[in-house]
Structure 1
Amino acid sequence: MTSYEQISEKVPLVTNVPLGEQIRRESRKRNIAIGVGFLASAVVAVVLVVSLAPSSQNGNSVPILTARSSAEFGASPPGMFGDTESGKRIKRTPVVKIKQGQLQGRIIKSRKSRDYNAFLSIPYGKPPINDLRFEFFKDHVIYFYNPRNQQEAGKNGFTMRHALGAFGHLSTGDGLVGGNMALKDQALAFKWIRDNIEAFGGDPKRVVIFGNSSGSISVHAHLLSEMSRGLFQGAICESGVSIGPNFPEFALKYPEIMAGALAKELNCTDTEDSQEIVKCLKQKDVAELANSVDTVWTLTGESVSANGDTSQMFFTDTPMNLMRKGNVAKVPIIVGVNSAEEFPNAYALLKDQASIDALNENFASQILERKLHLPTDEPDLEREIREIYFNGSGTVTKEHRYGFTDLLSDHTFLHPSRVVGMLHSKHSPVYFYYCTKESEYTLRVDGKYDFEPPYGVGHADEQQYLFYYYGRYPEIKPDDSRMKFSEDMIKIWVSFARDLVPDSLAVEPWNPIQETENGMVWFQLDEKPLRKSIQP
């Protein structure tokens, strides 16, 4: 049988066959199945955790600063302005003095009715509107908000907004529009934290950033950027890194083609001259640009200035090259995935008999070419995939839903995360997790109920344990069956923010990943988290 290593030499980042199969073998012994949700990149952004020195004002020891996209919060959170909400008088915090002036927040209840301070709508950059569209500013667009659940662990917190889609990632490749404005927004927010967090009792030298999905990709991007170097001391990447099929290096190498494609989609007359493209795009309606998000990749290429200055570049090379060279932030990292990241996409392939028939008639083109971006003229490759994921079956059926979920999840999430983890582990501790704690609630239910449970943990589903997710999942109340795991996961994440070493809450410690004769050491997140070693 052709090994994964042999396959990946031909087509890098295909799917992590040994890791995925070995993890699932252990998981299924516990009746954990594989299934998934895919979350659009605009929904979840970056989360920051800032470790505090002890504060005499409120006794809290670690404030948490989180960053989320405007797509999640809408125009503004309810009750942001004014002194009343639902007929109740809002309690105000003491005034905090920062470099830009004075702030007064509001006192909010956590899910266990604990009071915590929330400072809303703190500006840290100029809004890129009108003629300033696609520009990047060094000045103090974006606002900070506050998460809820981490407050139970005695933490403060903030979330931030940043530009999305073309507004945050367009690049012309010639310096006219530099690219990666959203990531530069985030780096600017990190600098704001560095300069101001002491006013909230925080320690600017003890900062951990974390995110999910596109936020996780952003977190990993900051690990690779010299622009963010020294602004944080640890990172957590949940289901997303800056390599893999969701992030083709094509977008980095040829950003001008992506810009031209966007101009064509929005009916600009000139799709080649960057000056004309930018002029046209600045005149387009905000909604038109926002709806074109799929045309502009999450990360984009940038150009070196004529004098060789790279100080305003977020990426000075491709992510893979930066990792191979060791040009990364050498800080402790948690990286991991859920057991069933891709189940909506997998289930969609099997939604009815017509779809299944089409798969069997055109497996190579539909799966190898369209889903895995692999060549269709290598019979051994298709044979190996069928052997590993479909028990060698030459005909797929609805019963192969787990196989399709595994295949797509390995390809898109598991293998890229493993590659990133192993490359970073050469320079700093990396803690790998695999979440198998399945909830009855999932972000994406497309086609889910045409199948019997179990489904596995879908994309972003672990977020319900960390945050009140603004209606996407029911809030976890004290008597909720999810409460215990939620509390444990928050404790683990907070312990990492505090000590840069995660407390496993288990008999065995959660040790950094390493390759052994039996595979890669990993950590299972479930009701009873246990450190495991993958068996061959």
Structure 2
Amino acid sequence: MRPTALVLVALASLAAAAMAGRGGGGGGGGGEGRRPEARVRQGRLRGEWLETARRRVRYASFRAIPYAAPPLGPLRFKDPRPAARWAGVREATAWGAECTQLEGGQPKGAEDCLFLNVFVPPGAWAGAGAASAAGPLPVLVYFPGGAFVRGSSNRYGPDYFMEAGGALLVTVNYRLGVFGFLSLGTADVPGNAALKDQTLALRWVRDNIAAFGGDPARVTIFGQSAGGASVHAHVLSPLSAGLFGAAVSISGSMLAQWALPRDAALQRRRLLERAGCADGRPEVWAACLRTLPAYDLVKAGGSVDLMREMLRDQQIPFTPVVDGAVPGATPFLPDRPRRLISTGRFNRVPYVAGVTSGEVLHFMASAPANTPHFVEEGLANLTRQFKEQMAAALPAGLPLNASDLARDVYRPDSRSGQHVLERLVEAANDAFFVWPAALSTRLQSAFEPRQYLYYFDLDAGLDLRKPALMPFLKQIEGVPHGGDLFYMFRIPDANTTLPEKSIEMRTLRSYVQLILNIAITGKPTPQPVEGVLWPPYDSDADGAYLNFGTDLLSAKTALRKKQLMVWDLLSLLISNRHS
């Protein structure tokens, strides 16, 4: 099923959705005494003590640790290789380079960017190579999002996890765009280099995290947007087996239509033409692309007008690919995601999938959606595509009129542009975020019962995304894409002075604690959080989920049942086309 124009605009602005500014501890102090040091396989590291901005909690910080060799020259597009050893003590007190990307149409960052950061909470540090008296702590590993073309681990402050304690936090850079996701369909450039970067980072954690007081046997991976889809890809990949024990996908799933290419050949051809490398065979293409300066290549691969390209091509420029049929390659995704899940070929670990209630609101801030004409046309396109694809998907003679069902489920209250816009947002949110998350937990629960679903619907004061929207979008209920990250990481300019008993701060503490609980016990609520137990998803019981809202937390069932039934029917088309 092709994405609608709205969602293509949405996914284009995923690239612009990276958090502004830099995260990382609130202040460079944190007390006197020796700076923390750790010995990893490559050599010695010297970090620093930092303090959180809100509670002035002291923690150990190690930044810009290389986990892979710089992917330069002949290593461009290649599977990553482990980082080399270094002599002496390496300073780990400044952020490493962001990976090469476009921002505002201008290139930034560097190819030598495969770094990770380790943050150690208070009470966990007992000296280099030694765990705390309580024993080694579990580890959280975070993969940031940005439409697979932008983003950086440097932008997410660890404060709230450090204040909660109980686990180490690792944040990871990985190659982006053409550098991380180009596929020429050859053993030389099979694709998925960025996902293999992440896998190598997980191997680094397995081999070295004990030096920081972490437990390599208790690693939980989590990520948001493209990072959430990446987490789901690791759940599906045999290359990542045994490297983590639980996974959390926030606003991203490999079952989402935007997570795989619609026409990889089109994007490859357009890149080669722009780069002046279109002549010859694949091995000639690769050699030519490797000669280009990084900033020239990122401009050829990303384009200054990314949004216009996505509207035209109906896909993100570079995404993960199914690489199981590439001769001579080591596949990361040996088959299509839904087929891997349906046949039980995935890593059976506790898995959490979550979405916000208004994901696409954030993206529409960058769309030309300020006229009734645009939204009316968008809804008409959605309905037309629905009718065509549903007719092709449903068995002949089935007594169901698909177009009537679509109109009933998403019928506007009136013909006003605002009401049509509300239904368009609702339909796009369901199709491209809510339904893939619910479907992944439902299908995986047939093989692994520890599957959990949540719906973040607290439209409150900590989120800076909603106030930044245009007035006509602010009127629509829902939490924009990335709005929940303000309840997980310290984001620059976010309000950190709200009262401790406010709904925002209680939600923040609950959100962080639920993720920590997964890391510590494999269950989000081994004990009630705010008086609520979060049961696993059970498809036989209408599917349990946790709701974040004005009543804080509540356990519910049948998330948007009538609406998601529409997309369940469309899934017949998806499975028929790719089975």
TM-score relative to the length of structure 1 = 0.76
Q: What aligned pairs does 1:391-410 form with structure 2 within 5 A after superposition? A: 391=412, 395=415, 397-410=417-430
CA shift for structure 1 position 245? 2.0
For 2:281, give the aligned amino acid: D
Q: 1:241 to 1:376 in 2, by over 3 A?
A: closer
Q: Is 2:31–2:49's contact at 8 Å kept on the other side of the alignment?
A: no
**Matched residue, 2:348:** 330
**SS of the counterpart of 2:63?**
coil
Match of 1:236 among 238, 248, 268: 248
Match of 2:36 among 83, 94, 108: 94
- The answer to whether residue 114 in structure 2 is matched with residue 142 in structure 1 is yes
CA shift for structure 1 position 91? 6.9
CA shift for structure 1 position 259? 2.0
Q: What aligned pairs does 1:20-59 form with structure 2 within 5 A after superposition? A: 40-41=13-14
Q: 1:239 to 1:502 in 2, by over 3 A?
A: same
**Matched residue, 1:68:** none
Q: What aligned pairs does 1:1-20 form with structure 2 within 5 A after superposition? A: none
Structure 1: runs of 5+ lacking an equivalent: 1-10, 15-35, 45-70
- The answer to whether residue 456 in structure 2 is matched with residue 435 in structure 1 is yes
Q: What aligned pairs does 1:152-171 form with structure 2 within 5 A after superposition? A: 152-154=163-165, 155-171=167-183
Q: 1:172 to 1:149 in 2, by over 3 A?
A: same
Q: Summarize deviations over 1:216-265 as a string: whole Å, max 9, x none.
A: 000000001111000000000111101222124645xxx45532232124
Q: Is 2:362–2:466's contact at 8 Å kept on the other side of the alignment?
A: yes
**Aligned sequence identity (%):** 26
- Take 2:195 and 2:441, find their aligned partners in 1: how far apart are those partners? 21
- Take 1:316 and 1:208, find their aligned partners in 2: how far apart are those partners? 23
Q: Is 2:206–2:216's contact at 8 Å kept on the other side of the alignment?
A: yes
Match of 2:507 among 476, 480, 485: 485
TM-score relative to the length of structure 2 = 0.71
CA shift for structure 1 position 89? 9.8
Q: Summarize deviations over 1:131-184 as a string: whole Å, max 9, x none.
A: 321122332351122422200111432211110001001111122212101000
Match of 1:340 among 354, 358, 365: 358
- Take 1:197 and 1:323, find their aligned partners in 2: how far apart are those partners? 30
Q: Summarize deviations over 1:22-69 as a string: whole Å, max 9, x none.
A: xxxxxxxxxxxxxx976855578xxxxxxxxxxxxxxxxxxxxxxxxx
For 2:164, give the aligned amino acid: A
- Take 2:19 and 2:369, find their aligned partners in 1: how far apart are those partners? 30
**SS of the counterpart of 1:246?**
helix
Match of 2:221 among 203, 209, 213: 209
CA shift for structure 1 position 316? 1.1
**SS of the counterpart of 1:107?**
strand
CA shift for structure 1 position 319? 1.0
- The answer to whether residue 68 in structure 2 is matched with residue 104 in structure 1 is no
Q: Is 1:235–1:334's contact at 8 Å kept on the other side of the alignment?
A: yes
Q: Is 1:91–1:106's contact at 8 Å kept on the other side of the alignment?
A: no
Q: Which moved more, 1:499-508 or 1:425-434?
A: 499-508
Q: What aligned pairs does 1:117-516 form with structure 2 within 5 A after superposition? A: 117-140=60-83, 141-145=113-117, 146=119, 147-154=158-165, 155-248=167-260, 250=262, 255-270=264-279, 273-291=281-299, 292-293=301-302, 296-302=317-323, 304=325, 306=327, 312-345=330-363, 348=367, 350-356=369-375, 359=376, 363-365=379-381, 368-369=384-385, 375=389, 380-391=401-412, 395=415, 397-428=417-448, 429-440=450-461, 441-443=463-465, 448-451=470-473, 453=475, 455-469=477-491, 471=492, 474-477=494-497, 479=499, 481=502, 482-503=504-525, 504-516=528-540
- Take 2:65 and 2:353, find their aligned partners in 1: how far apart are those partners? 30
Q: Is 1:488–1:505's contact at 8 Å kept on the other side of the alignment?
A: yes
Q: Which has the higher contact order (CA 8 A, sep 6+)?
A: 1
- Take 2:482 and 2:387, find their aligned partners in 1: how far apart are those partners? 24
For 2:371, give the aligned amino acid: D
- Take 1:514 and 1:260, find their aligned partners in 2: how far apart are those partners? 44
Q: Is 1:174–1:302's contact at 8 Å kept on the other side of the alignment?
A: no
- Take 1:303 and 1:324, find their aligned partners in 2: how far apart are those partners? 17
Q: Is 1:37–1:460's contact at 8 Å kept on the other side of the alignment?
A: no
**SS of the counterpart of 2:334?**
coil
Q: Is 2:261–2:320's contact at 8 Å kept on the other side of the alignment?
A: no
**Alignment coverage as a number of residue pairs:** 458
Q: 1:491 to 1:345 in 2, by over 3 A?
A: closer
CA shift for structure 1 position 280? 2.9
Q: Is 1:335–1:433's contact at 8 Å kept on the other side of the alignment?
A: yes
Q: Is 1:118–1:157's contact at 8 Å kept on the other side of the alignment?
A: no
- Take 1:316 and 1:377, find their aligned partners in 2: how far apart are those partners? 30
Q: Is 1:219–1:235's contact at 8 Å kept on the other side of the alignment?
A: yes
For 2:533, give the aligned amino acid: P
RMSD: 3.5
CA shift for structure 1 position 418? 1.1
**SS of the counterpart of 2:217?**
strand
Q: 1:168 to 1:73 in 2, by over 3 A?
A: farther
CA shift for structure 1 position 267? 4.2
Q: Is 2:260–2:321's contact at 8 Å kept on the other side of the alignment?
A: no
Q: Is 1:92–1:107's contact at 8 Å kept on the other side of the alignment?
A: no
Q: Is 2:209–2:216's contact at 8 Å kept on the other side of the alignment?
A: yes
Q: 1:414 to 1:325 in 2, by over 3 A?
A: same
CA shift for structure 1 position 287? 2.7
**Matched residue, 2:142:** none
Q: Is 1:247–1:297's contact at 8 Å kept on the other side of the alignment?
A: no
For 1:522, give the aligned amino acid: Y
Q: Is 1:175–1:302's contact at 8 Å kept on the other side of the alignment?
A: no
Q: Is 2:324–2:333's contact at 8 Å kept on the other side of the alignment?
A: no
Structure 2: runs of 5+ lacking an equivalent: 84-112, 120-157, 307-315, 393-399, 563-579
